[in-house]
DNA sequence: GTCTATACATCGATAGAC
DNA sequence: GTCTATCGATGTATAGAC
């Protein structure tokens, strides 16, 4: 990308510029999350966001083509946060423990930020649809979750659907009725044990 | 209410007026749902809604004090729809069958109307909070579900939380990934059986 | 209750100078 | 890249006549 604007052996000016630009975009997205937590996801105003980063509202268009493009960047960022939050888990070799800890992390991740959960897992912004690049980040998370399931012996499509429903149910109730708490989070182990028992007992095809 | 404006033995003119008014409110709410399915829940414009019911935009204020009051009426109406959709179930005496059919109805209800599901079960409209009167309708549904659970021998708070999470998970996945379909709907029986087995096996306190 | 007319406050987005 | 200025659209709500 930036290589197009740079001479082969020239000074790294363009790279530096690209870095500064990426850093500023990161700051804008960070402040957009803060604003979203204060005013709601749909309550983000470009003027308020500009104030937070020391710009005038039209100057934001130097970084984002539209407000939906901002949401798209937030979507990708949120999914990267989710991957980071669920990737440093030690593999104990016990699939029940591993899967439980994973589910607990996902539930806590959602319960800790209602608006982030809304953008990542609900279709609440009119007209917003993730770009292929941003959606790819979401797919990466799903693939990691799929690998964990496979390690636990869960491979049938119906079983995977069941697992996604169980996890979605815990996160949804946690976000909707006890944000920041643990009312459903603490049932993660019970749900995973129940799920794996069910998968083992259900008939092979 | 309308009795205040009516003489004791007078003609039923005021009642008729109140009936016509209530009927018109019902039409407005009905069209608001149609508009919401077309443009999204947050995409309802009072001008468009007025067009659909043959009024000018300011005339809507003769029926609703604000746009949020319209959402409030829709919230109550949607919960009444949900109660109606889950109330004509025959009691077979088999709690597994009864509970399965109930869960299946709830999942189908959500999957059949994404925007209705959003308004009833997600906090997506900035500033909207159901009035006590509208919330009472939602509570009535929850009480009916609670009675069904009790009939199946489910009484512990943690078990009820687990049930709400399972149902919420099925509806969420159905709405989000297969609206109008049956990909998660068809797992209702499996989930209920799994749930009741878990409840019976978990230790008594 | 319904209308016309309009206030009033936004918003997101663009044009063009520096 | 950032600014000022402003457009064009939209959106809720009110005033006052009929």
B43 and B88 co-located in one domain: no
Measuring alpha carbon to C1', the residue closest to nucleotide D6 is A58
Chain B environment of A167 (Cβ under 8 Å): 169
CA nearest to nucleotide C6 C1': residue:
B58
Contact between chains at A165 and B166 (C-beta distance less than 8 A): yes
Within 8 A of B190 by CB-CB distance, chain A residues are 162, 198, 202
CA distance A103 to A94: 14
Instruction: Give start and end residues of each alpha helix (H) in chain A.
Output: 13-39, 46-52, 67-85, 95-111, 114-121, 132-151, 157-177, 188-201
Per the CB < 8 A criterion, the answer to whether B75 and B134 are in contact is: yes
Contact B165 A167 (CB under 8 A): no
CATH number at residue A36: 1.10.10
Residue A4 lies in a domain: no
The reply to whether B4 falls in a domain is: no
Q: Are residues A58 and A83 in the same domain?
A: no
Q: Which nucleotide is nearest to A44 (CA to C1')?
A: C11
Residue partners of B195: CB distance under 8 A and separation at least 6: A194, B162, B163, B166
> Residue A75: inside a domain, yes or no?
yes
Q: Is A191 helix (H, G, I), strand (E, B) or coil?
A: helix
On whether both B86 and B130 belong to a single domain, the answer is yes
Domain closes at, from A65, A82, A101: A65
Does B173 contact A172 at a Cβ distance shorter than 8 Å? Answer: no
| Pair A98, A23 in one domain | no
| Residue at B27 is within a domain | yes
Task: Specify whether B156 is located in the same domain as B170.
Answer: yes
- Mutate which of A43, A126, A168, A185 to disrupt the B interface (most B C-beta within 10 Å)? A168
Same structural domain, B88 and B151? yes
Query: Do A57 and A139 lie in a common domain?
Result: no
Contacts of A119 in chain B (CB under 8 A): none
Residue B8 lies in a domain: no
Question: Per-residue pLDDT tens for A136-161?
Answer: 999 999 999 999 999 999 999 999 99
B35 and B85 inside one domain: no
Domain check: are A115 and A179 in the same one?
yes
* Residue A53, domain extent: 14-65
Question: How many angstroms separate the CA of B13 from the C1' of D9?
Answer: 44
Give yes or no: residues A76 and A51 share one domain. Answer: no
Read off the DSSP letter of residue B184.
T
Q: Smallest CA–CA separation between A115 and chain B, in Å?
A: 10
CB of A47 nearer than 7 A to strand C: yes
Verify that B190 and B172 share a domain, yes or no. yes
pLDDT in tens, chain B (205 residues): 333 233 334 444 567 888 999 999 999 999 999 999 988 898 898 999 999 999 999 999 999 988 899 999 999 999 999 999 999 998 898 988 999 999 999 999 999 999 999 999 998 888 889 999 999 999 999 999 999 999 999 999 999 999 999 999 999 999 999 999 999 999 999 999 999 999 999 987 6
């Amino acid at each position: 990308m930036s290589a197009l604007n740079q001479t082969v052996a020239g000074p790294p000016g363009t790279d530096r510029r690209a870095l500064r630009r990426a850093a500023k975009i990161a700051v804008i997205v960070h402040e957009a999350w803060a604003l979203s937590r204060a005013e709601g996801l749909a309550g983000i105003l470009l003027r308020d966001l500009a104030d937070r980063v020391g710009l005038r509202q039209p100057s934001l268009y130097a970084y984002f083509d539209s407000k939906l493009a901002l949401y798209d960047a937030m979507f990708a960022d949120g999914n990267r946060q989710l991957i980071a939050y669920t990737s440093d888990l030690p593999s104990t070799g016990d699939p029940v423990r591993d899967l439980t800890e994973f589910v607990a992390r996902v539930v806590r991740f959602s319960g800790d930020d209602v608006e982030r959960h809304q953008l990542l897992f609900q279709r609440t912004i009119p007209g917003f649809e993730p770009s292929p690049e941003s959606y790819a980040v979401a797919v990466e998370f799903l693939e990691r979750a799929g690998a964990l399931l496979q390690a636990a012996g869960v491979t049938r499509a119906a079983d995977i659907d069941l697992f996604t429903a169980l996890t979605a149910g815990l996160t949804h109730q946690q976000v909707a009725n006890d944000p920041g708490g643990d009312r459903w989070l603490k049932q993660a182990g019970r749900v995973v044990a129940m799920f794996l028992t069910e998968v083992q007992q259900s008939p092979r095809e």
